[in-house]
């Protein structure tokens, strides 16, 4: 039987602002103890304070997803304090180096892969043993519809005509593949591993040009983090930009 939300331990990376902060907030309002993962310890402490003012049991946790020692130290702290992890939301990510095809900045591309993909794998691997100790672990990898090959190659998709730099879409396509592999590997434990499509939200990643709020984006991760035992595993789920209803959600093609 799955644990009730008020005795579950959740970690959200990149949780000091934007969608990550709102994800931590929503999970906390569900009753979870939320570990506010942040590369900058001071910003993590500020986020913890803001969440506690709303009644959330928030605990700042310093973790730089690109630094293996930082990740290992974070995992050791969680093991010492709680002995398990029930929810992991791999939210930390970057977007940069936009431009036309043929103008890809290899340095920016490598940084996106390092944070968005390698960092996510590093964190997940470091917390695997703690996730396996949960009765019903949930792992949410924040992805994007523009990382969906099916969406990007469908003439009926609003993203079919999208052109530009390959770095960010390619990094999110890799996130989708990693999600599928972990979903298979952890299925026998009762865990659910899914990718979240928050939609085009107003965040620092896009210079606040998105038309959805960070909270709306975070509700996608909240849904996947609180799935029942018969919920999907190994899916890309979230906002459906092609639907007539702006608040439509469902499974997207890989």
Burial class (CB in 10 A: 0-12, 13-18, 19+), 238: buried
Question: What SS3 string covers the chain?
Answer: CCCCHHHCEEEECCCCCHHHHHHHHHHHHCCCEEEEEECCHHHHHHHHHHHHCCCCCEEEEECCCCCHHHHHHHHHHHHHHCCCCCEEEECCCCCCCCCCCCCCCHHHHHHHHHHHHHHHHHHHHHCHHHHHCCCCCEEEEECCHHHCHHHHCCCCCCCCCCCCCCHHHHHHHHHHHHHHHHHHHHHHHCCEEEEEECCCECCHHHCCCCCECHHHHHHHHHHHHCCCCCCCCCCEEEECCCCCCCCCEEEECC
Active site includes 172? yes
Q: Given 17, 168, 182, 184, which residue is catalytic?
A: 168
> Distances in Å between the alpha carbon of 236 and those of 12, 23, 64, 105, 125?
18, 17, 25, 28, 20
Q: Does 168 participate in catalysis according to the annotation? A: yes
CA angle 40, 51, 38 (to 5 degrees): 20
CA atoms of 232 and 235, how far apart (whole Å):
7
Instruction: Spot the catalytic one: 172, 182, 192, 249.
Output: 172
Residues assigned a catalytic role: 168, 172
């Amino acid at each position: 039987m799955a644990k009730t939300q008020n005795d579950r331990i959740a970690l959200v990376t990149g949780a000091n602002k934007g969608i990550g902060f709102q994800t931590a907030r929503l999970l906390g309002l569900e009753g979870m103890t939320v570990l506010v993962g942040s590369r900058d310890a001071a910003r993590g402490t500020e986020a913890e304070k803001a969440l506690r003012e709303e009644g959330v049991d928030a605990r700042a946790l310093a973790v730089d997803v690109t630094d293996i020692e930082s990740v290992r130290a974070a995992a050791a702290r969680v093991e010492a304090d709680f002995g398990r992890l029930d929810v992991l939301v791999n939210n930390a990510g970057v977007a940069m180096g936009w431009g036309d095809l043929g103008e890809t900045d290899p340095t920016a591309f490598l940084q996106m892969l390092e944070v968005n993909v390698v960092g996510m794998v590093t964190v997940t691997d470091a917390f695997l043993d703690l996730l396996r100790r949960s009765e019903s672990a949930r792992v949410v990898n924040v992805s994007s519809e523009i990382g969906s090959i099916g969406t990007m190659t469908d003439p009926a998709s609003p993203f079919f005509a999208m052109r530009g730099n390959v770095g960010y879409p390619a990094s999110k396509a890799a996130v989708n593949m990693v999600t599928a592999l972990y979903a298979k590997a952890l299925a026998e434990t009762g865990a659910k591993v899914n990718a979240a499509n928050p939609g085009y939200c107003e965040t620092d990643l896009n210079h606040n040009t998105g038309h959805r709020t960070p909270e709306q984006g975070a509700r996608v991760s909240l849904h996947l983090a609180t799935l029942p035992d018969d919920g999907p595993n190994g899916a890309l789920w979230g906002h459906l930009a092609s639907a007539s209803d702006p608040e439509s959600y469902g499974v997207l093609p890989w």
